[in-house]
């Protein structure tokens, strides 16, 4: 008696087949899109270890198609044998990297501080500045988002020239703070809106001042939102190119400007361009992998109301 007694009926088997096709389809599309997203990054990493013949032959897979060489990284002064030595290329790169880091971190911190305070105030009290009430003030802040950078760029060029802020880090920090402030306020307003006011009421009854309640009770609760806002600002300011290209020339040049200025001049020496591009995007790739959930949280803040 090897015959099976209990069978799936024909309709059920059809269902199974349908389930399998849908699975294959879903994972197929996901994998294809994954490839689209990750291939340029893979390409950049591998190209930075190639030499001229590898580039021309179109070799793709390291150790199989070609032997990785430190050529590209050496031209930046970042390969293992040159990283310890003083060299102009290395100092140049480190200076740009340092500029980018200082500018993006300070601008994001400043924006988070200013933006959280404003968002907290707007979510708790009713204000009246002249004719502007709370909703108008919120709209005033958020409307900065639609201001395209070109509108501010040229007036700022002239203003900064007369203020001697051209080509300084402070100048860029101020501008970047301005560009990310609306986003921070948007995220934080959402965040504070979801915290019940009873918390502060209890704190106030217990004798804390309103600033004391904000700093000791509300801030810790809103911290994840602040981190999300900070990281989102960090990504935007690290990548900013337009203002940096217009307002800096030698001292305060950031990494994107450095990458852009090298694209034309290098011709076919792709390995050094690839190394430079990859060094410029590496910090953000690391942040993206480690802090992905904060970024998603930050961006989702606007979506659900």
> 186, 302 in Cβ contact below 8 A?
yes
Does residue number 194 form part of the binding site for another protein (CB under 8 A)?
no
Which position among 76, 103, 273, 275 is part of the footprint of another protein (CB under 8 A)? Answer: 273
Which position among 78, 181, 222, 253 is part of the footprint of another protein (CB under 8 A)? Answer: 181
Site for another protein in 18-37 (CB under 8 A): 26-27, 29-30, 33-34, 36-37
Site for another protein in 56-85 (CB under 8 A): 56, 58, 60
> 232, 223 in Cβ contact below 8 A?
no
- According to DSSP H, which parts of 76-197 are helical? 88-124, 134-143, 149-163, 169-193
Which position among 47, 75, 99, 272 is part of the footprint of another protein (CB under 8 A)? Answer: 47
Site for another protein in 128-147 (CB under 8 A): 129, 133-135, 137-138, 140-141, 144-147
Does residue number 105 form part of the binding site for another protein (CB under 8 A)?
no
Task: Please identify, among the stretches 1-9, 62-70, 81-89, 253-261, the one whose residues bind another protein according to the rule CB under 8 A.
Answer: 253-261
Instruction: Please state the closest distance from residue 74 (CB atom) to another protein, in A.
Output: 19
User: Encoding tokens for residue 175?
Assistant: 């501008």
Label residue 281 left, alpha or beta by phi (over 0 means left) and psi (-120 to 50 means alpha). Answer: alpha
Instruction: Please state the closest distance from residue 52 (CB atom) to another protein, in A.
Output: 10
> 199, 186 in Cβ contact below 8 A?
no
Q: Specify the 3-state DSSP secondary structure of 219.
A: helix
Which position among 21, 67, 194, 209 is part of the footprint of another protein (CB under 8 A)? Answer: 209
Nearer to another protein, 7 or 167 (CB): 167
Cα 290 to Cα 34, 100, 220, 286, distances in angstroms: 18, 20, 21, 6
> 66, 50 in Cβ contact below 8 A?
yes
Does residue number 44 form part of the binding site for another protein (CB under 8 A)?
yes
Q: Name the DSSP class of 145.
A: G
Does residue number 55 form part of the binding site for another protein (CB under 8 A)?
yes
User: Encoding tokens for residue 160?
Assistant: 């900064």
- According to DSSP H, which parts of the chain are helical? 10-47, 52-57, 71-75, 88-124, 134-143, 149-163, 169-193, 198-205, 210-213, 219-239, 242-247, 255-265, 270-290, 292-300
Instruction: Please state the closest distance from residue 90 (CB atom) to another protein, in A.
Output: 20
Which position among 67, 197, 216, 249 is part of the footprint of another protein (CB under 8 A)? Answer: 197
Which position among 24, 158, 202, 219 is part of the footprint of another protein (CB under 8 A)? Answer: 158
Does residue number 118 form part of the binding site for another protein (CB under 8 A)?
yes
Nearer to another protein, 175 or 229 (CB): 175
Does residue number 204 form part of the binding site for another protein (CB under 8 A)?
yes
């Amino acid at each position: 008696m090897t015959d099976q007694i209990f069978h799936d009926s024909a309709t059920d088997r059809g269902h199974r087949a349908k389930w399998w096709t849908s699975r294959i389809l879903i994972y197929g599309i996901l994998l294809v899109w994954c490839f689209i997203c990750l291939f340029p990054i893979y390409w950049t990493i591998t190209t930075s270890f190639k030499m001229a013949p590898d580039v021309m032959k179109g070799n793709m897979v390291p150790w199989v198609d070609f032997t990785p060489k430190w050529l590209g990284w050496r031209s930046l002064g970042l390969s293992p044998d040159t990283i310890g030595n003083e060299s102009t290329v290395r100092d140049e790169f480190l200076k740009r990297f340092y500029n980018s880091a200082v500018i993006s971190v300070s601008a994001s911190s400043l924006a988070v501080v200013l933006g959280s305070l404003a968002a907290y105030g707007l979510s708790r009290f009713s204000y009246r500045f002249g004719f502007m009430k709370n909703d108008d003030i919120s709209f005033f802040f958020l409307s900065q988002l639609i201001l395209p950078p070109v509108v501010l760029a040229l007036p700022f060029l002239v203003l900064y020239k007369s203020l001697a802020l051209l080509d300084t880090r402070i100048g860029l920090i101020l501008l970047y703070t301005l560009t990310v402030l609306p986003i921070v306020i948007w995220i934080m307003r959402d965040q504070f809106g979801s915290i019940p006011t009873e918390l502060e009421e209890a704190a106030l009854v217990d004798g804390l001042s309103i600033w004391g309640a904000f700093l000791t009770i509300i801030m810790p609760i809103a911290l994840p939102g602040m981190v999300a806002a900070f990281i989102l600002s960090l990504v935007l300011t690290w990548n900013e190119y337009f203002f940096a290209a217009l307002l800096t020339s030698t001292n305060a040049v950031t990494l994107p400007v450095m990458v852009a200025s090298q694209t034309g001049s290098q011709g076919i020496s792709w390995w050094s361009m690839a190394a430079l591009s990859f060094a410029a995007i590496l910090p953000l790739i690391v942040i993206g992998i480690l802090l992905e959930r904060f970024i998603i949280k930050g961006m989702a803040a606007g979506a659900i109301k």
